[in-house]
Amino acid sequence: MHSETPPRSTHVAVSEPLAGVLQFELNRPEKLNALDRETLLQIYELTGRAVESDVRCVLVTGAGRAFCAGADLSAFVTAEDPSTFDSYLTVMLETFSRIARARFVSIAAIQGVAFGGGLELALSCDLRVMAEDARLAVPEILLGALPGGGAIPRLLRTLPPALAKEMVLTGRQLSADEALNFGVVNHVVSVQALSAHALELAGAVASHSSGALTRAKKLFTAVVENDLESPLKTCRVEIADLMAQPQFSAEISAFLTSRQSHRSSQ
């Protein structure tokens, strides 16, 4: 991971809307901000840069009508080397873990959908604000796969276990009201108010002592993240093996073909 060439793309737009606050905006709206390898690597690099700066809060958003629809599946259709899947999951897990363990506070502002890797990205953030019509899900089971970016251990720690298992095993979606009631998100607001509300929250966080925020994150990591290392590794190994099976590529190809046919008919 550390030896890879830093990505040079506009897949993540960076701005500083307030003093002490950086905004990372996923910038692939035509693909509902799906996470390809390049996007993940750019998030990883930007997170590292933010850690070395005086930033106190990072706000993660998505351009267009979705926060993030999950992994970019197109890269998996023609993948023949089984290590492709393990490599992708490794990059995804290291990126999300870097956000979760960063010394700054992270906030996800969720509109539209946060599915699969998109939900895993949001769960890696410290706080979450959600539009009232948005939806959360890990629909990988519908493609013969499982969520490989940390959703299983993180959902089991966030939700009642029975509900977390239902989401993973059936692809069940959570509405904004359900997400708020179960403590997955901190606030639910109207679509029109989402950006302003998330920015207000980021500003409130950034107004506090840098030393206090850094130590709070250190304690959060000690209590939560350190215990996740072994489960996350187990998930990566098992799910990479599942994704390397021929049936997975067939499922992905059929899904992408069906989606393209649906778009063409509209």
Q: In the chain, what's the furthest Cα-to-Cα distance?
A: 56
**pLDDT on residue 187:** 98
Strand residues in 54-163 grouped as ranges (E): 57-62, 105-110, 113-115, 127-131, 135-137
Q: Which two tokens stand for residue 58?
A: 């990072």
Res. 213: pLDDT tops 80: yes
Is 200 annotated as catalytic? no
Regarding the domain with residue range 12-265, which homologous superfamily does it belong to in the CATH classification?
Answer: 2-enoyl-CoA Hydratase; Chain A, domain 1 (3.90.226.10)
pLDDT in tens, 148-169: 999 999 999 999 999 999 999 9
Stretch 75-103: mean pLDDT, rounded? 86
DSSP-assigned letter for residue 238? H
Position with higher pLDDT, 1 vs 6:
1
Q: Which two tokens stand for residue 241?
A: 């093996």
Is 120 annotated as catalytic? yes
Task: Tell me, yes or no, if the pTM score tops 0.95.
Answer: no
Of 25, 52, 80, 120, which one is the catalytic site residue? 120
Of 140, 178, 225, 238, which one is the catalytic site residue? 140
Res. 226: pLDDT tops 60: yes
Query: What is the rounded distance in angstroms from the CA atom of residue 79 to the CA atom of residue 115?
Result: 22
- C-alpha dist (Å) from residue 129 to 57, 68, 77, 156, 182: 14, 14, 34, 20, 14
